[in-house]
Amino acid sequence: MDLSIMIPELLKALPLTLAITFTAMIVGFCLALIATTLRVRRVPVVSQLADLYVSYARSVPVVLQLFVAFYGLPLVVGLFEVEDFISPNVAAMVGLSLYHGGYLSEVLRPAYLAVERGQHDAADSLGYTFRQKLLRVVGPQAVHIALPGYGNSIIYLIHNVALVMYIGAADVMATAHLVMERDYNQYQFETYLVLAVIYSLLCLVAWLVVRLFEKRNSKFAPNTAPAKATMMASV
């Protein structure tokens, strides 16, 4: 197989893979923040619903979540008598966003709870609201604790984007299968090897970005957290 022909074909599908990944990252992060806040504050009924959502996202296989989004979203849209606009790409973004948000919530919540209780008490004694305490004292420390787990969740998300081919999204993996079928499956090893390199590079970039944030946020490491928080609280 001529790699100079195959690789450009795969790279043409890369923008869709990246679009699905970044959409799921951003929407999933927002969902994780909401779910984590509700679960930490223990709002009656709503917190239980957030727990149920997280349990669904972590317990149900990702490919099944994609099928639920693909077949379920048109039914939801139909209830409002709106023209069906759910394409495989949209369903992939929704399904992976829900998965990533639930998984990430179980990274953020333990990180928040891992911050020393004295930090919470110091912020409360100064009259900080929950939002002020989160932004000025607890949040920066929780972010440092959560970053390794967050990096893993991004890598898992990149891996799971390969599953969107099962609902018809023409990502890199789906394109690779089309290329192999066109060539009568003669070059499966070469094609999968190129795919492995592409996904490895995506995960490497994600890991390097998270490592950069870890270094920039190292001043909020747990061993220096009490002094830092006291300093921040006095500002």
pLDDT tier at 235, thresholds 50, 70, 90:
very low
Q: What is the pLDDT of residue 83?
A: 67
Q: What is the pLDDT of residue 214?
A: 84
Residue 111: closest CA among 207, 22, 225: 225
Q: Which domain holds residue 202?
A: 3-233
| Opening angle at CA 108, ends 120 and 135, nearest 5 | 45
Provide mean pLDDT across the span 191-210.
94
Question: pLDDT, tens digit, for every residue of 136-149?
Answer: 788 788 888 899 99
On average, the pLDDT of the chain sits at 86
Residue 38 CA to residue 114 CA, distance in Å, equals 17
Domain count, the chain: 1
Q: What is the pLDDT of residue 163?
A: 95
Q: What is the pLDDT of residue 222?
A: 58
C-alpha 225, offset from chain centre? 27
Q: Which residue has the higher pLDDT, 217 or 144?
A: 144
Provide mean pLDDT across the span 72-87.
80
Q: What is the pLDDT of residue 30?
A: 96
pTM score, two decimals? 0.85
Question: pLDDT, tens digit, for every residue of 18-75?
Answer: 999 999 999 999 999 999 989 988 888 999 999 999 999 999 999 999 999 999 998 8
Here the CATH number for the domain that contains residue 167 is 1.10.3720.10
